[in-house]
Amino acid sequence: MANAKELFRQNFIEYASYVIKDRAIPDIEDGLKPVQRRILHTLIEMDDGRFNKVANVVGSTMHYHPHGDASIYSALVNLANCDLFIEKQGNFGNFMTGDGAAAARYIECRLLPFAKKVLYNPEITNYVESYDGRGKEPVSFPAKIPVVLIQGTEGIAVGMSTKILPHNALEVIDAQISAIKGEPFQLYPDFPGGGIMDVSDYQDGLGSVAVRAKLDTSNAKKIVIEELPFGVDSESMIHSIEDAIKKGRLKIQSVSDFTADKVNIEISLAKGTYTKDIVDALYAYTLCEQKISVNCLVIKDKLPHVCTVSDVVNYHANHIIDVSKAELEVEKGHLYDKLHYRTLERIFVEERIYKRIEQKRTQEAVSAAVKTGFDPYSDQLVREVSDEDVERLLKIPIRRISLFDIEKNRQEIEQINEDIKRVEYNLGHLAEYSIGVLKDIKGELDNELHRRKTVIGDFNMIDVKEVAKRDIDLRYDGLTGYLGTNVKTGNALFKVSEFDKILIVQKNGTYYCTNVSDRTFVGKDLAYCGLADKESLENVVFTVIYQDKKTKVSYIKRCKLSGFIMNKPYELLPEPETCSLKKLSVLENAEVTVTYKGPSRVKETTFYFSDFRVKGAKAGGVTITKKEIASIRIKPCKAVSTPPKEESDAGLDEELEEQGAETSVLEERPSSEKPEKGSDEMPGLFDDVD
């Protein structure tokens, strides 16, 4: 068993590590997932300036990516639609309408020169063997800009996920330049579809953004959606609007979609409905407003790291300096190689060193003769003469030697020396040089395609509960025990919205809070039903008259109900097993007439709700009488007979005993008996509950 557990543990760790590092999460250096990197690597290998069938690109990429053509095709389409590294030809889909791309055999693509400028430099790129060992692929490209921020990305791995929104390329490069200079910067997302965005909770890439569609509300009877929120297409938008219409949330006559190159969804309003009345509901009930949570997770130093947008920019501010240094060092090496060869060539021809090899019969002798011939001029050489140098010199044609232009050679050497001085200056001013590189890159992107499209605004998310109207009847059928908005029989209690919470009180004193639903079984012993929001319950006082089943002692309790856990049952009565609920009222004040059973000098007595203090829901009641009660009548009133008494266990019992009141059993009012005018009868409220 231990071996099996260890085997599973090891395999799971390897699988999780593979999914995180080699499939789902992008690398911070080039901002690409492995499949995207392999696609670009393949396009670089295939690049001849002409378009290639996407099907051919997909097939060639499979030499490096062992996960099938479907994943490569979809990744290539998404990468091409970023309009950064790949030029498209054909139908690559439309993010505004939701239409997909054509089949891989019908569409073509090719690498943009910009991709090589930003990503490609094989002399400073680390390569590893492909999965089958037949080729080499890059570990990561030495990207000069934060590609992960410009393109954005989304991926789900084992136990973690990433969601980075796309940012404006020009703004990202400006931020990178500011970071190199040590100046403050701030970056916010920018979406290709435009729209409006609230970034108050963006938290530098670790929070969320609220996005809205851009609406034209100039016409009082028609709304035109001109731009969509990020991640929403016209088809899903119309579906959400139609769904809201079916549920009665929006009063709209018709919806027409004219989206093509630009979004154009026309919403014609119903009779009696105007634009100003429906805009908030449109944001609340449809995809016109969305909240997008973000999580900037990337692979850094071969490990997953959660970092901010600023962290990514600062990383690339340092990274481009490292890349610039590496490229300059490579260029410097090439210049010295060129200078060395030009010098060798000049001395070889000018000093007639080639004459030394005329009598030599072996390769070793020829090579030694050439090397010896350069000994007097060693102070003019960049480095020692190697066998490769000799081979190269010996390949110079006789015609070139005879027509050798000494002056041209000297000019070339002077130019090379100038270039070396320039490179050495740049190596000494790497920050300045890197900024120049970034400005050059920015110049290639400074066009209408890469200008900011999303407007940054300040708005609060529309809460559906705030715009929801209480216009749905909540019905209760006492015969079946069902309560809900879709109950067809029974009585309508009051108006609700689908987001309301309601308070249910049963005849046994149990109460609970639940959501409004289409149809819920609450039983046939419903005593009270009302709205359970804070505002509604703030002014509601529950007055309960109950009796001890054994001693027949009656009590009154006044309380407010609040602080519910949804669908958790609570008890109004202090001891539900031994007490029974006789009366339940939510009147602010009422006159209560108690009639006693049997012969007595006093047949009835009267008191008021206001005679008793309002307590907590868990408090016990105040004793009314120790005698049995025949009936209780409740009549609404505004007048207060006496000021509220202090809490007392005796309560009204002492007064009743002094009057010689007798007790009797409480009889339930017959169902056919109608309540008197002004009695405590209201929707969802029952006086007699025993």
Greater pLDDT, 550 or 110? 110
pLDDT at 484: 92
- DSSP string spanning 24-62? IS-BTTT---HHHHHHHHHHHHH-SSS-EEHHHHHHHHT
Class of domain 32-142: alpha beta
- pLDDT band of residue 19 (cuts 50, 70, 90) is confident
Per-residue pLDDT tens digits for 432-485:
999 999 999 999 998 888 999 999 988 876 767 767 778 888 999 989 999 999
As beta bridge partners, residue 474 has 494
Q: What single string gives the DSSP state of each residue in 648-666?
A: -SSTTHHHHHHTT----PP
Residue 67 pLDDT greater than 80, yes or no: yes
pLDDT of 5 higher than 70 = yes
pTM of this prediction? 0.74
CATH fold of 469-658: Neuraminidase (2.120.10)
Model confidence band, residue 86 (pLDDT cutoffs 50, 70, 90): very high
The neighbour count for residue 111, using CB atoms within 10 Å, is 24
Query: Quick check: 162 pLDDT over 80?
Result: yes
Tokens describing residue 300: 């850094």
**For residues 299 and 535, what is the distance between their CA atoms, to the nearest angstrom?**
50
Helix (H), strand (E), coil (C) string for 447-512: CHHHCCCCEEECCCCCCHHHHCCCCEEEEEECCCCEEECCCCCCEEEEEECCCCEEEEEECCCEEE
pLDDT of 144 strictly over 50: yes
CA distance 320 to 326: 10
Distance CA 64, CA 137 (A): 7
Q: Where are the domains of the chain?
A: 32-142, 214-287, 310-450, 469-658
Chain centroid, CA 426 distance in Å? 43
673-687 pLDDT per residue, tens: 333 333 333 333 444
What CATH code is assigned to 310-450?
A: 1.10.268.10
214-287, what's its fold? Gyrase A; domain 2 (3.30.1360)
Question: How many Cβ atoms sit within 10 Å of the Cβ of residue 668?
Answer: 12
214 pLDDT higher than 90:
yes
Q: Quick one: which of 118, 89, 256, 201 has its CA closest to 461?
A: 201
Provide the annotated active-site residues: 106
- Structure confidence at residue 646 (pLDDT): 38
DSSP class of 410: H
Q: How many residues does the chain have?
A: 690
| Average pLDDT taken over every residue of the chain | 86
pLDDT surpasses 70 at 645: no
Whether residue 373 has pLDDT greater than 90? no
Cα-to-chain-centroid distance, residue 560: 40
**What confidence category does residue 600 fall into, taking pLDDT thresholds of 50, 70 and 90?**
low
Distance, CA of 542 to CA of 283 (rounded, Å): 38
What is the structure's pLDDT at 193? 92
Please tell me which residue, 291 or 672, carries the higher pLDDT value.
Answer: 291
**CA atoms of 336 and 442, how far apart (whole Å):** 31
Indicate the residue type of 332.
Answer: K
